[in-house]
């Protein structure tokens, strides 16, 4: 079986780990061929593909980002986009496609499924705002990274008697917190 794979939308922790897992399991256990598409949906629209071998994913886990690249391209917003994607998948003899992404990327995957493409969607977003799943990969890492930054930051409030707020913004949500502040009972001269 020939499996295509792409990463779409914004960057997110864990993209390379998913790519590596698909390649290692697909080739190592099932003998599949994995075709990577560069820069999200732009790759299959423009015919930009690369073979993903075991060697291509060796040493990938500590690297951030995605070796495939990503973009916010939506073929359904481009004249002739879906036809070009289907033509590239046919050219590359892809039997199924793995789309790793958020709302827009998976929305395109759903439309292609309606056009007869066998698709697996992998929910990826730091916003954790996709229906059909409790958690998306990337969300916990983003929250933990923000938490670590807040907790390890020097605390200027202890000196200045001011309160500090931290806000983390996602696409449609934001969270605010008031981390530890200076003691209220501190005497002011």
Q: Alpha helices of 92-138 — where are they, by DSSP H?
A: 103-114
Q: Is 159 helix (H, G, I), strand (E, B) or coil?
A: helix
Q: What pairing do the DSSP bridges indicate for beta strands 174-177 and 166-169?
A: antiparallel
Compute the distance between CA of residue 93 and CA of residue 34 in angstroms, rounded to an integer: 11
Query: 47 in the Ramachandran plot: left (φ > 0), alpha (ψ -120 to 50) or beta?
Result: left
Q: Is 155 a catalytic residue?
A: no
In angstroms, the CA 7 to CA 99 distance is 6
Q: Which of 113, 127, 129, 148 is catalytic?
A: 127
Residues with active-site annotation: 127
């Amino acid at each position: 079986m020939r499996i295509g794979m792409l990463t779409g939308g914004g960057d997110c922790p864990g993209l390379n780990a998913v790519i590596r897992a698909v390649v290692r399991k697909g080739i190592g256990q099932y003998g599949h061929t994995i075709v990577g598409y560069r820069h999200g949906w732009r790759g299959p629209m423009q015919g930009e593909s690369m073979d993903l071998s075991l060697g291509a994913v060796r040493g990938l886990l500590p690297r951030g980002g995605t070796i495939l690249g990503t973009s916010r391209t939506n073929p359904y917003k481009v004249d002739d986009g879906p036809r070009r994607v289907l033509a590239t998948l046919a050219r590359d003899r892809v039997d199924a496609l793995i789309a790793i992404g958020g709302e827009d990327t998976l929305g395109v995957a759903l439309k292609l499924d309606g056009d007869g493409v066998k698709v697996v969607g992998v929910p990826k977003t730091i916003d954790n705002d996709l229906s059909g799943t409790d958690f998306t990969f990337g969300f916990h890492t983003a929250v933990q990274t923000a938490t670590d930054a807040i907790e390890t930051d020097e605390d200027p409030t202890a000196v200045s008697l001011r309160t500090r707020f931290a806000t983390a913004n996602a696409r449609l949500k934001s969270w605010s917190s008031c981390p530890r502040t200076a003691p209220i009972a501190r005497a002011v001269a």
